[in-house]
Amino acid sequence: MAETCLFCRIAAGEIGSEIVYQDEGFLAFRDVNPQAPEHIIIIPRIHIASVADLSEEQRGVAGDLILVANKVAEQLGIAQKGYRLAINCGPEGGQVIPHLHLHLLGGKKLSDWIG
């Protein structure tokens, strides 16, 4: 855990959040500033700063993030109609929290671009 990382602190239970899914490797919770009716943040419990920082040994984390997203979409009842998955990488890519995370957005027809 990176002690100053907001998402690590959420994963450790130090900061409250509305958790919608958790297992030993991942945590999914509602975004505090939702951009869609369903906007979920999915994180690995281990601290990885960004997708660019994944090592060869951690390559399965990326696939597991997507599998967790699929489970959460099913759980929320949006899997059949569709949803968007997004990973921002670095400041110019829109990443605000330096902890690898996947955005799951759905619950309405989404525009062609999140802006």
Tokens for 91? 């400041």
Show which residues are catalytic.
101
| Cα 50 to Cα 101: distance, rounded to the nearest angstrom | 8
| Cα 54 to Cα 59: distance, rounded to the nearest angstrom | 7
Radius of gyration of the chain (CA): 14
Task: Give residues with Cβ within 8 angstroms of 19, minimum separation 6.
Answer: 27, 28, 29
